[in-house]
Amino acid sequence: MCSSEKVALESSNLESDKVGYYHPLPDSESSSTSETDLKNEKRNKIWHEDAAEGGSQEHEGPQGVSAHRKTHINKYALGGAILASTNSVLLGYDIGVMSGAILYIRDNLKISSTQVEILVGCLNLCSLIGSLASGRTSDYIGRRYTIVLAAATFLIGALLMGLAPSFIFLMAGRVVAGIGVGYSLMIAPVYTAELSPATTRGFLSSLPEVFINIGILLGYISNYALSSLPENINWRLMLGLAALPAILVALGVLVMPESPRWLVMKGRFDDAKQVLIKTSDSKEEAELRLAEMIEAAKAPGAASSNWQGQGAWKELLCRPSPPIRRVLIAAIGVNFFMQASGNDAVVYYSPEVLKDAGIQSRQQLVGVTVIMGIAKTFFVLVSALFLDRFGRRPLLLLGSTGMAASLAALGVGSKYLEQSDKKPVWAIALCIVAVCADVSFFSIGLGPITWVYSSEIFPMRLRAQGSSLAISINRLIKSLLMHENSCNDKGRMLPSLSIPVNELAPQASQ
């Protein structure tokens, strides 16, 4: 079998989102038929046992067996996913807290508007460095310790920012924290996807987006709670409190397992089996998952005990096979459109839009943004719960289409208010509903699914570097868009792109 065919087989590993089982991957064309039949017979036995137990979700079993598979969340996998996703709180907290802290930083440190823009924007740019470095790092030291490295880096950055006596010192803290954010954005979904069983992988891999929204909410709460303190203390506490989630992750790593796929790539099969037994519904399923990982690791250029990700960048960028090229384009595309959709611009500049719409009361503006935050958090939870039932692409298409309609409605309402001397209630209501609908549809589609898709679409040996490359594009586009928005003298939103590219994308592997 040629190399490209082997890669195609591996990259299509477990690709159906609607099926909760593992397909056998033949090592070569001369694989024993009896061995394959034995595996299929064992797999069918497990499916019939699940069907006998009854379940709430219907799946198409192997060889046409229709079964109701009982779906529940493994507590061990859930605990690992929550601890890994805690790092994502750091990014959300920074987004939320900087909106209020920057007001006090400007007055206390006497910095200019240009310095404010540099201070706010540098975190996204520096996260690009962390995202690029995270792939090779996680292949070298493991997923688990990369999570610790991300938390430790952000911890140092948070302490530097909280103790900063000057703008230069504060910038140094932002740079260090940005690198930590870049690490956490890549490693959390990758670790979760590799640890989780197929039946709940979508839900668990979307937890980083849920925790980002929780972090934003915590940032707003921090601003409100600490704003009454003296000016030279409040912003330091606002920024310094970000160290708490980092400390929690550092303690939690003591009970976190290593990624079983990384253990397999390092040749540590016994350790991988022990992790899989804890994160699978049964010992038989654990054995099937282990066999699948071992077969995937037999592809050309795959793992050995001294493997550290060598040659992955060359295979991704210099000589990608057609299947790898298609996967790479899909992963980069969904990350590009996540930022190009303009959701951050809607979130950041919604008060300006609503003020232009006729809402002048600061209390009313705060109330609308709170409603927007609640809608965003609610719908990301809805998406997480239904990802494994409906699949990635349908929700991605629904979210993208809904965002396009919402932005069109926002444009119509804003244009009418701009050209009208009066401020009709229906136009104001249309703008409010459109803003809330846009962030809600983002939370259904591009928000959580981008992280899930990027972490599971690549074949095992390319997963870390492929995900880091895709997420680096994500951070680069966000940095460019936020720079353009900050350079706009009126702070108006850039035109956004909300194109459902998922129809061109292959299904993510399971």
Burial class (CB in 10 A: 0-12, 13-18, 19+), 422: exposed
CATH of the domain at 324: 1.20.1250.20
463 domain residue, yes or no: yes
367 domain residue, yes or no: yes
Instruction: Decide: 180 and 154 in contact? Cβ < 8 Å.
Output: yes
| Residue whose tokens read 């680096």 | 472
Domain range holding 433? 75-257+319-504
- Those residues whose C-beta lies under 8 Å from the C-beta of residue 419, and which sit 6 or more positions away, are none
33 domain residue, yes or no: no
Neighbours of 325 (CB within 10 A): 12
Question: In this predicted model, what pLDDT tens digit does every residue of 236-267 receive, in sequence order?
Answer: 898 888 888 778 877 887 788 888 888 888 88
Tokens of 372: 């927007």
- Those residues whose C-beta lies under 8 Å from the C-beta of residue 206, and which sit 6 or more positions away, are 380, 383, 384, 387, 448, 449, 451, 452
- Those residues whose C-beta lies under 8 Å from the C-beta of residue 167, and which sit 6 or more positions away, are 109, 111, 115, 119
What pLDDT was estimated at residue 365? 67
Helices (H), 196-268: 201-205, 207-226, 231-240, 243-252, 260-265
Q: What are phi and psi of 60, to 5 degrees?
A: -95, 110
Instruction: Decide: 412 and 303 in contact? Cβ < 8 Å.
Output: no
| Average pLDDT of the residues in 91-115 | 82
Mean pLDDT of the chain: 74
As a whole number of Å, the end-to-end CA separation of the chain is: 23
Share of the chain above pLDDT 90, in %: 4
306 domain residue, yes or no: no
Alpha-carbon distance of 119 to 157, in angstroms, equals 13
Q: What are phi and psi of 471, to 5 degrees?
A: -70, -30
- Those residues whose C-beta lies under 8 Å from the C-beta of residue 448, and which sit 6 or more positions away, are 206, 209, 210, 380, 383, 384, 387
| Average pLDDT of the residues in 392-414 | 89
Strand partners, 292: none
| SS3 call for 298 | coil
Task: Specify the higher pLDDT residue, 396 or 494.
Answer: 396
| Average pLDDT of the residues in 135-158 | 88
Neighbours of 352 (CB within 10 A): 14
- Those residues whose C-beta lies under 8 Å from the C-beta of residue 154, and which sit 6 or more positions away, are 87, 90, 176, 177, 180, 181, 184, 242, 243, 246
88 domain residue, yes or no: yes
Q: Among residues 158, 163, 165, which one has the least CA distance to residue 108?
A: 165
Residue 492's pLDDT band, with cuts at 50, 70 and 90, is very low
In this model, does residue 405 exceed pLDDT 60? yes
Tokens of 454: 């990027």
| Average pLDDT of the residues in 471-488 | 73
38 domain residue, yes or no: no
Query: What is the count of structural domains for the chain?
Result: 1
175 domain residue, yes or no: yes
| Average pLDDT of the residues in 158-169 | 89
Alpha-carbon distance of 297 to 301, in angstroms, equals 9
What pLDDT was estimated at residue 294? 82
Task: Specify the higher pLDDT residue, 17 or 190.
Answer: 190
User: Per-residue DSSP letters for 432-498?
Assistant: HHHHHHHHHHHHHTHHHHHHHHHHHSS-GGGHHHHHHHHHHHHHHHHHHHHHHHHHSTT-PPPP---
509 domain residue, yes or no: no
In this model, does residue 456 exceed pLDDT 70? yes
Burial class (CB in 10 A: 0-12, 13-18, 19+), 39: middle
Q: What are phi and psi of 278, to 5 degrees?
A: -75, -30
What pLDDT was estimated at residue 176? 92
Neighbours of 66 (CB within 10 A): 10
Task: Specify the higher pLDDT residue, 167 or 60.
Answer: 167
Q: How far is CA 77 from the centre of its chain?
A: 17
| Average pLDDT of the residues in 322-339 | 88
| Average pLDDT of the residues in 83-111 | 82
| Average pLDDT of the residues in 147-162 | 89
In this model, does residue 103 exceed pLDDT 50? yes
